[in-house]
Amino acid sequence: MNPEIKYLRTKAWKLRNPEKVRAQKKRYRVNHRERHLAKQREYSRTWRERHPEKWKLSYTQANHKQYATVSGRLNSAMKTGIQKSLHGDKAGRRWETLVGYTLSELREHLESRFTEVMTWEKVRVGEIHVDHIFPLARLVITGPEDPTFRYAWSLGNLQPLWASDNWKKNDKVPWQL
């Protein structure tokens, strides 16, 4: 069969059967996960190299969009803080799986400790920090399975604190305050 005709027939079939095409693609991604991820990474890398200005703009816009919401700011702060406390050894895992609670549980916990004038908007703009009652700087964390890590990032060790108070507190433990 003529390759051009075969191509046109295949294209027409795909247009008539979008659900089947989606199912086939999903099966492929599931059955060939590593190959699919490798292709995605390679495509992303080459695209970034060919379009550095577009990538930089897109990356900047995504960061601004993320920081524009309370959830985005909290999520980013937790991800970054946990990565630093594990010295980058997060191994691609989401922070929620490492600490054992969700973003909504964290929000609920912090909100329950707000004073009358604290608001989520003030958290979003950085006037209020998520503070470790017992500071991370005073703890030695060897990995995500370390009980010290679990304690450091437990809800009981986190509190909302005004940025100025957090800077003054620095790495003092509760009995030094």
Residues 32 and 108 in one domain: no
- Asked if residue 56 is part of any domain, the answer here is no
Residue 103 CA: distances (Å) to CA of 38, 71, 92? 30, 7, 17
Residues 43 and 123 in one domain: no
Please name which of 141, 28, 31 lies closest in space to residue 88, comparing C-alpha atoms. 141
Residue 5 sits in which domain range?
1-50
70 C-beta neighbours (distance < 10 Å), count: 18
Are 135 and 99 a contacting pair, CB within 8 Å? Answer: no
- Asked if residue 24 is part of any domain, the answer here is yes
Q: What is the pLDDT along the chain (177 residues), one digit of tens a residue?
A: 789 999 999 999 999 999 999 999 999 989 998 998 899 999 999 999 999 999 999 988 888 887 788 888 888 888 888 888 787 777 778 888 888 999 899 999 999 999 989 999 898 888 999 999 998 888 888 888 889 988 989 999 999 999 999 999 888 877 776
Residues 74 and 153 in one domain: yes
29 C-beta neighbours (distance < 10 Å), count: 13
Residues 93 and 13 in one domain: no
User: Dihedral sign, CA of 44, 49, 53, 56?
Assistant: positive
- Total count of domains within the chain: 2
